[in-house]
Structure 1
Amino acid sequence: MNLDEKITLNGFRLTAPRKKILSILGAQHHPISFEEYTLLDPAIDKSTFYRTMQAFEKADIIHGIESDEGKRYFELSENVHPHFICQSCRTIVCLSPQPIISPDGYIIDSVVYKGKCPECSSS
C-alpha cells in the first residue's frame, strides 16, 4: 500500500499543508524534530504540525521517536528499522533494517539503541 492509499484509507484529505509535511519528511534520511522541520518550512504553525503528526502517527503513516529529553522526532513509517541515539551529541541515526527478534505474541513497533556514536566515542 502506498502513502496516498494509506492516507485515504484513514479518512484524511490530502490538503496542501499535509502534502508539504509528507514531502519534507519523505526527503529526509533520518527522523527530524519540529525545530528541524521549521528550517525547511518556516511558515508552518506549531499546533498544526503537532496535530498532523499525532493524527499521522495514530494512522501509522509516520513514526515518532522520543529522545531522553522528551523531544519528539518524526519520520515516514515505511518499515520498522532500528535507530541509534547518541547520548553525547543527541544525534539520531537510522540503522539498516535487521531481523528483529520478537517474543511470541508481541508486536515490535520500534527498536532504539542508545550509547555513543563513533565521533563521540573517539574523543
Structure 2
Amino acid sequence: MAFAAITYDVKPGYEDELSEIFRGFRRVRSADVPDGTGEQAGRILATAVFIRDDTLVRVIEYEGDLDAIARHMAEQPGVQEVERKLAPYLTKPRDTGTPEGFVATFQRSLLKTVTQLSIRDKPNG
C-alpha cells in the first residue's frame, strides 16, 4: 500500500468554507480502479484532507498504478463537484475540467514521497 499527497494553493481565511466542501464529498461506489481495458489497475483504500492557512493537502492511500488512480478520480462526479466548488478559493487556477487536465494537474500537485511506514510492513532482518 502506498500514499500520495496532492496540494491545493488556497486563499487563507477560508478554512471553514473549504472544510464544508469536503464534508459533503460524494464517495465513489467502488474502491476498485479499472484500467483502460476494464481490468483492475488499483484500489483507493482511504483519503484524508488537511488544511492550514493557504495550503490544503489531500492524502490518498492506494494500491496499484497511481496514474490509473488519477484517471479514475478525474471521472468521478464527486471529485468533479469538489473541484468546481474549490475554484473560487484557489490562488492558482487548476485545469481539472477534463480528464487530461485533471491528470496533468494531479501530477503537478503531487508531493514527493520522502518515506512511508506502516505497521503492515514487515520489519527488515
TM-score (norm 1): 0.29
Question: Structure with the greater relative contact order (CA < 8 A, sep ≥ 6): 1 or 2?
Answer: 2
